[in-house]
């Protein structure tokens, strides 16, 4: 990653923060973006302390103009883009029959449209550098997760978009990768939306038993260097994808029973 210019959305916490540090320590020039300017600046201070050249651009990926500005400021500062890491995302936990439709729209705006906007504006620069477009997706992009209809929809859409883009640019040197971390110890579940759009405020899962954000970042960095097509992490995640292909009915039952075990699960 020496002297590569890497843009990371959702860079103020969790996997985004860990990726910023991992790519930066590997020699990259890192551009981080997120809605929370204060947290973004705190990550910037960590990057500076690690000797990483960085640029922090506050913004909301659900807004087209914020994404355009992110790309423009990156090119103005560094002159090129080598990696567009679409990491910004939110989750939800509520039954579809109970959820406000605005919650679904919000997830699509951030998880799907945020990826589309940033990739659209970065693409000319990435084609020039023969760089990488990465979407941080989820097992929910392979298997519909009950209680997370909007999240699954947004990740299926992201993966379909990136898959089509990969084929379109097959002979133009662009690397397109979908990374699916599985359940990771990050704050995405703490900020997950409830049925009425309010933040859940707590994780329904035992964070101590999950892969850390730092482990995920190290794997994403390695896969980016190797220009992999797909990255599915955790044994549970790989099993869900494999079974979903060959035994979809059984997978539905296994996923339902797994989600049913969560504390305060909406499934009885």
Say whether 151 is catalytic. Answer: yes
11 in Cβ contact with 36 (< 8 Å): no
> Cβ neighbours of residue 132 under 8 Å, at least 6 residues apart?
82, 83, 84, 126, 174, 175, 176, 177, 224, 227
Residue of 54, 117, 142, 151 marked catalytic: 151
Here the tokens at position 24 are: 């930066």
Among 148, 245, 158, residue whose Cα is nearest residue 205: 148
Among 33, 40, 26, residue whose Cα is nearest residue 9: 33
Q: How many CB atoms lie within 10 A of CB 51?
A: 8
Here the tokens at position 17 are: 């923060």
Among 255, 240, 111, 234, residue whose Cα is nearest residue 184: 234
- Strands in 132-136's sheet, in edge-to-edge order, are 54-56, 29-33, 5-9, 83-86, 132-136, 175-180, 230-232
**E-strand spans in 168-225?**
175-180, 184-185, 211-212
Enumerate the active-site residues. Answer: 151
């Amino acid at each position: 990653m020496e002297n590569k210019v890497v843009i990371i959305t959702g860079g103020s916490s969790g996997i985004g923060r860990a990726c910023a540090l991992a790519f930066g320590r590997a020699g990259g020039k890192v551009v981080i973006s997120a809605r929370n300017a204060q947290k973004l600046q705190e990550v910037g201070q960590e990057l500076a302390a690690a000797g990483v050249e960085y640029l922090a651009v506050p913004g909301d990926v659900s807004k087209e103009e914020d994404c355009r500005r992110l790309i423009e400021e990156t090119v103005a500062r560094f002159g090129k883009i080598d990696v567009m890491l679409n990491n910004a995302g939110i989750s939800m936990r509520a039954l579809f029959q109970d959820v406000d439709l605005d919650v679904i729209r919000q997830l699509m705006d951030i998880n799907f449209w945020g990826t589309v906007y940033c990739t659209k504006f970065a693409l000319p620069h990435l084609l020039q550098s023969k760089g990488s477009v990465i979407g941080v997706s989820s097992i929910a992009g392979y298997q519909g997760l009950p209680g997370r209809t909007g999240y699954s929809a947004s990740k299926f859409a992201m993966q379909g978009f990136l898959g089509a883009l990969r084929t379109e640019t097959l002979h133009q040197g662009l690397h397109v990768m979908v990374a699916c971390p599985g359940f990771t110890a990050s704050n995405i579940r703490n900020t997950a939306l409830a049925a009425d759009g309010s933040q859940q405020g707590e994780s329904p899962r035992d964070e101590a038993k999950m892969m850390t954000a730092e482990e995920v970042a190290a794997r994403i960095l390695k896969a980016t260097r190797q220009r992999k097509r797909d990255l599915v992490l955790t044994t549970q995640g790989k099993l869900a994808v494999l079974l979903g292909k060959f035994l979809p009915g059984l997978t539905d039952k296994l996923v339902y029973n797994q989600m049913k075990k969560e504390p305060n699960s909406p499934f009885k």
